[in-house]
A and B are shown apart, each in its own frame.
Chain A
Amino acid sequence: QKEVEQDPGPLSVPEGAIVSLNCTYSNSAFQYFMWYRQYSRKGPELLMYTYSSGNKEDGRFTAQVDKSSKYISLFIRDSQPSDSATYLCAMIFPSGGSYIPTFGRGTSLIVHP
């Protein structure tokens, strides 16, 4: 079983919708949680990161972490066609001085006008 599970989608929504992207994980030692956006043929772009349970907001994006359920979410409000991309979750737990991120497979999001 992969440590980080993420539904590959695609998830198709109309413009203006609220989007919910999710990841589950099995290792309770994960401490840092990140979300990246990746456009086709481009490198990932860090959107948000957090290390605690609860919500973190940045503009139209809200990252939510529920450590008790081992579940993280990224919400996008007022979605735009320019949000169409693949969204990657990633997690880190410190181990012997090393910090090796574990990434999900990514969810493809399509926002249609």
Chain B
Amino acid sequence: NAGVTQTPKFQVLKTGQSMTLQCAQDMNHEYMSWYRQDPGMGLRLIHYSVGAGITDQGEVPNGYNVSRSTTEDFPLRLLSAAPSQTSVYFCASSSQGGGKPQHFGDGTRLSIL
């Protein structure tokens, strides 16, 4: 079982570029979510999905888009990268309701120059 897989592990972008962070899980979990982790701050929820075709905003959604066409995949798109989006991004999934993330990927480290 791979669990939650995130790609790429590292990425450097220039300001204004767009990119998609990939997230896939093989546990058939309905609930998936994206977080960012910045030094000195806790994890912050960007977007989440309670099932295929359903997404909603978290605490810090501006500058990011998501879609959920399948149960397995939940990509995060940066529309026009800004230096403030330099962070470590984590994808998580859960079989339980109530927003309690159970399984996290190992993160994508993103630098915006």
- Taken together as a complex, chains A and B put the C-alpha atoms of A69 and B33 apart, in Å, by 30
Interface on chain A toward B: helix, strand, loop, or mixed SS? strand
User: How near does chain B come to A71, taking the closest CB pair, in angstroms?
Assistant: 17
- Whether the pair A100, B59 counts as a contact (CB closer than 8 A) is yes
Chain A proximity mask over B88-105: 1 for CB below 8 Å, otherwise 0? 001010000111111111
Q: Which residues of A contact B102 (CB under 8 A)?
A: 46
What total count of A-B pairs have CB within 8 Å? Answer: 60
| A53 cross-chain contacts in B, Cβ below 8 A | none
Is A81 among interface residues, defined by CB-CB distance under 8 A? no
Contact B59 A43 (CB under 8 A): no
CB neighbours (8 Å) of A98 from chain B are 56, 99
The binding surface of chain B is classed by DSSP as loop
A73 at the interface (CB under 8 A from B): no
> Smallest CB–CB gap between A92 and chain B, Å?
5
Complex-state Cα separation, A48 to B59, whole angstroms = 23
Q: A44-B104, A105-B41 known; 10 other A-B pairs, CB under 8 Å?
A: A34-B100, A42-B106, A43-B106, A90-B42, A94-B98, A99-B98, A101-B43, A101-B45, A103-B44, A105-B42
What is B's interface to A at a CB cutoff of 8 Å? Answer: 4, 40-45, 56, 58-59, 90, 92, 97-107
